[in-house]
Amino acid sequence: MIAEVIVDVPAQQTDRPFDYRVPEKWSGMIQEGMRVTVPFGPRKLLGFVVKLKESSEFKSLKNISGLLDMEPALNEELLELGHWLADETMCFKISAFQAMLPAAMKAKYEKQIRLTRGMVVSDLLPELQPLFQKTGTMKWDDAQNNELLPLVKKEMDRGALELSIKVSNKGNVKKEKFIKPLLDKEGLITQLGEISKTAKNQRCIIEYFLENPIESPLSKVLKDTGLSGYSVIKPLVNKGILHVQERESYRDHYEQHEFQADAVLPLTEEQRGAMGPIERAVEEKRNETFLLYGVTGSGKTEIYLQSIKRIVDEGKEAIVLVPEISLTPMMVTRFKRRFGNLVAVLHSGLSTGEKYDEWRKIQRGEVKVVVGARSAVFAPFKNIGLIIIDEEHEGSYKQEEMPRYHARDVALKRASYHHCPVILGSATPSLETFARAKRDVYTLLTLKSRVNQRALPEVSIVDMREEMRGGNRSMFSELLFEKLKERVEKGEQSVLMLNRRGHSSFVMCRNCGLVVTCPNCDVSMTFHRVQSQMKCHYCGLEEGVPNVCPDCGSDHIRYFGTGTQKVEEELGKLMPHARVIRMDVDTTSRKGAHEALLKRFEDGQADILLGTQMIAKGLDFPKVTLVGVLSADTMLHLPDFRSSERTFQLLTQVSGRAGRHELPGEVVIQTYTPEHYSIQLASEQDYEGFFMREMFLRKQNDYPPYYYIALLTVSHEDVLKAMDTADKITTYIKRHVSPSTVVFGPSASPMSRINNRYRYQCLLKYKREPNLAVILKKLNETYGRNAAQSGLQLSIDVNPFIMM
């Protein structure tokens, strides 16, 4: 038997299966999708068996050296999905496979020293013998001290010891001891009488089991008795009073929480209207995609829960994707309450071990529902009945590293395999999705009103140019400052959002709000501090910064970019009494910090929550009556054709957050471009108006959803090399694409240098490009080969979400 194996080397040259012989002892055991270890040159590597076959065209094959799984890590569907993913996103097969598995299943390569075949411990120098006594191996690192190393070296030179690489899982399976009494009540009482009065700990344990005559994990016994260490139990095990067994156990992130079951809510008429078509699709096992379009609070989540209930009752499984940031305890609680321990939760706040355990529960079919961020779309369920993507427009569904997949595409692919429906939910669907719903590719389900009929908050737009002209140079408008002060005095809470993303700045006139845009591309020019130049990152145009505004002649023209820290400082000066919690990448990088800060705010330990867009989601605090957006424009002027869409989504999102409860809410949006349609329409919560407007512009400029795009980025430490390669690639592409495809570039990337690597890009717009896969593959082969030696990196992003 021969196995085709994809090895753990993400490189162009190794991106194909290698043949290995299956040793006799494993024939019949090895299956496709299992992870194995194989010799590869001088190394030993992890690999995935992708195919088993009878013969190979190669003569001298090496043997598979180890088996890492007893069950395939990737079932048939996922293995196939991996190949598809590699083709679709132009990534290495090994990267695709690994992306589908928890990090714990990546390989850990550990150097070891072991006895050479045929040698026994007693052949070694006496000093070394005890070290090799137990397993015949020792860790390489343990040998790295001055006394041992010369001896080990000597034995290695002699051929008695050799270096080997141990390949194992990164994460481990947690084992736990479970204790139970072997005697009945009377037996235990008798024992209690016989044990000496001074053996307090032992007596304590026996008394514990008298009261709890059931099997319990060791940790629980120790916790309940206040004792520590297995050593207090061991004597009782030796005497035959207690029994101990070690078994696998799961690490449960939510162990401390108690979830009360909650009842299914009777649906409103509008909800029933949306539920009907979903139920029919479920019943008929139809692979239909729904867009559930409904404002925040319209009861989408309740529809998800009830649809899942149907699936679970039929013995099938459901995947629910939620943006990382909204995987708040609140969200998790809603699912746990409805489905109890049939729910697995996957998000980045879990430890590697916890994630591994959740994954194993899914693989073993012990849970029926997974709620998770992007990568949960690969949950190894075998009988999927429904896939849900909440907030489908969210950027976090696109992975920005290899494999550059969008979870929505993967979900649709898996749903077609399982013949099941998909629900995409959003109050502000992505343009692509809404356009498909309009063309009946997806079925549109609309929820127009909030369940509790609570009105949407009142939104005021403040023109910061007026403030400026009126002499207010602070980052707070008078209106926002007044309202903020009022809230602090009344003991109500406010949320302040500084809309800031990316690292680039733009040049703007503070007098009239003009932002310098590229005459060719209609995107804002990016300011580069070092050269004091503005650049267009689509077409490459460069210009100096004007001294006066080309529109109004004011000399208040300068570049923009402000941080949360600066806002916090200013708040401290203006309102020294206000208690502020700042939430941004700096204050939330520690594990659990995000949750902890939100909790503090919820508990009323602060008056103002200040943060970047990360605070816009999952935010649902009864006492928040004011939401302030400090700078609605920041994102508007990023060099990205989606910047209006993102601004609209974000502003709609935050506006929907105020006044969800008894107290009415207010929103203040500060902007230099109050007339911009995405700000106007967001303040009116007019999604459809925005859709029409934006679609018109996309059509005019040949952007998605009218055209597809692909972005190629070349990077190199040497600016000339990067530029030159980008030039060659662009020329090659221009020569090989069909006439209807438009090619832009080469031009410097918006982030033109990252980690001392210069970046250049080439952009393709196409409606149908039959040669695309072939062209990209060819480029990957040409420029991806020997990437290590040449220092060149080529990244290909088909349907990029972020254009930088």
DSSP characters for 616-673?
SSS---TTEEEEEES-TTGGGGSS-TTHHHHHHHHHHHHHTTTT-SSS--EEEEEES-
575 binds ligand ADP (CB under 6 A): no
Out of 98, 191, 271, 673, which residue is the one contacting ligand ADP (CB under 6 A)? Answer: 271
Q: Say which DSSP state 308 is in.
A: H
CA–CA distances in Å: residue 577 to residues 80, 489, 602, 632? 60, 10, 19, 26
Out of 47, 102, 171, 299, which residue is the one contacting ligand ADP (CB under 6 A)? Answer: 299
Whether the ω angle into residue 17 lies within 30 degrees of 0, i.e. cis, is: no
The pair of three-digit structure tokens given for residue 308, joined into one six-digit string: 């899942």
d(C-alpha 800, C-alpha 44), whole Å? 36
Whether 736 and 742 have beta carbons less than 8 Å apart is answered as: no
The pair of three-digit structure tokens given for residue 37, joined into one six-digit string: 């270890």
DSSP characters for 394-414?
-GGGB-SSSS--BHHHHHHHH
507 binds Zn ion (CB under 5 A): no
63 binds ligand ADP (CB under 6 A): no
d(C-alpha 418, C-alpha 75), whole Å? 14
The one of Zn ion, ligand ADP, none whose footprint includes residue 679, by CB under 5 to 8 A per kind, is none
Compute the least distance from the CB of residue 297 to ligand ADP, in Å.
5
The one of ligand ADP, Zn ion, none whose footprint includes residue 536, by CB under 5 to 8 A per kind, is Zn ion
761 binds ligand ADP (CB under 6 A): no
Compute the least distance from the CB of residue 265 to ligand ADP, in Å.
4
802 binds ligand ADP (CB under 6 A): no
Q: Please compute Rg for the chain using Cα positions.
A: 31
Ligand-binding annotation for 420, yes or no, is no
279 binds Zn ion (CB under 5 A): no
For 124, residues 6+ apart whose C-beta sits below 8 A from its C-beta are 115, 132, 155, 160, 161
683 binds ligand ADP (CB under 6 A): no
Ligand-binding annotation for 518, yes or no, is yes
Compute the least distance from the CB of residue 644 to Zn ion, in Å.
17
The one of Zn ion, ligand ADP, none whose footprint includes residue 298, by CB under 5 to 8 A per kind, is ligand ADP
723 binds ligand ADP (CB under 6 A): no
The one of ligand ADP, Zn ion, none whose footprint includes residue 299, by CB under 5 to 8 A per kind, is ligand ADP
Ligand-binding annotation for 512, yes or no, is yes
536 binds Zn ion (CB under 5 A): yes
d(C-alpha 160, C-alpha 117), whole Å? 8
CB contact burial 683-702 (16+ within 10 A = b; e otherwise)? bebbbeebbebbbeebeeee
301 binds ligand ADP (CB under 6 A): yes
Out of 33, 47, 171, 297, which residue is the one contacting ligand ADP (CB under 6 A)? Answer: 297
Using CB under 6 A, which residues numbered 397 to 456 contact ligand ADP? 451
Using CB under 5 A, which residues numbered 546 to 575 contact Zn ion? 549, 551-552, 554
Whether 649 and 676 have beta carbons less than 8 Å apart is answered as: no
The one of Zn ion, ligand ADP, none whose footprint includes residue 451, by CB under 5 to 8 A per kind, is ligand ADP
Q: What H or E segment, with its residue span, contains residue 444? A: strand 443-447
652 binds ligand ADP (CB under 6 A): no
Compute the least distance from the CB of residue 346 to ligand ADP, in Å.
20
Whether 37 and 46 have beta carbons less than 8 Å apart is answered as: yes
268 binds ligand ADP (CB under 6 A): yes
| Strand-pair category, 526-528 with 505-509 | antiparallel
Compute the least distance from the CB of residue 801 to ligand ADP, in Å.
23
The one of ligand ADP, Zn ion, none whose footprint includes residue 294, by CB under 5 to 8 A per kind, is ligand ADP
Q: For Zn ion, which is the closer residue by CB, 246 or 555? A: 555
CA atoms within 13 A on the CB side of 381: 30
509 binds Zn ion (CB under 5 A): yes
Using CB under 6 A, which residues numbered 185 to 224 contact ligand ADP? none
Ligand-binding annotation for 91, yes or no, is no
300 binds ligand ADP (CB under 6 A): yes
Would you give the distance in Å from CA 175 to the centre of its chain? 28
CB contact burial 275-286 (16+ within 10 A = b; e otherwise)? bebbeebbeeee
265 binds ligand ADP (CB under 6 A): yes
621 binds ligand ADP (CB under 6 A): no
The one of ligand ADP, Zn ion, none whose footprint includes residue 562, by CB under 5 to 8 A per kind, is none
CA atoms within 13 A on the CB side of 210: 14
Out of 4, 8, 88, 302, which residue is the one contacting ligand ADP (CB under 6 A)? Answer: 302
Whether 711 and 90 have beta carbons less than 8 Å apart is answered as: no
CB contact burial 214-248 (16+ within 10 A = b; e otherwise)? eebebeebbeebebeeeebbeebeeeebbeeeeee
539 binds Zn ion (CB under 5 A): yes
Q: For ligand ADP, which is the closer residue by CB, 334 or 734? A: 334
Binding residues for Zn(2+): 509, 512, 518, 521, 536, 539, 549, 552
Interacting residue ranges for Zn ion, rule: CB under 5 A: 509, 511-512, 514, 518, 520-521, 536, 538-539, 541, 549, 551-552, 554
Which residues of this chain interact with ligand ADP, rule CB under 6 A? 265-268, 271, 294, 296-302, 451
Residue numbering of the annotated binding site? 509, 512, 518, 521, 536, 539, 549, 552
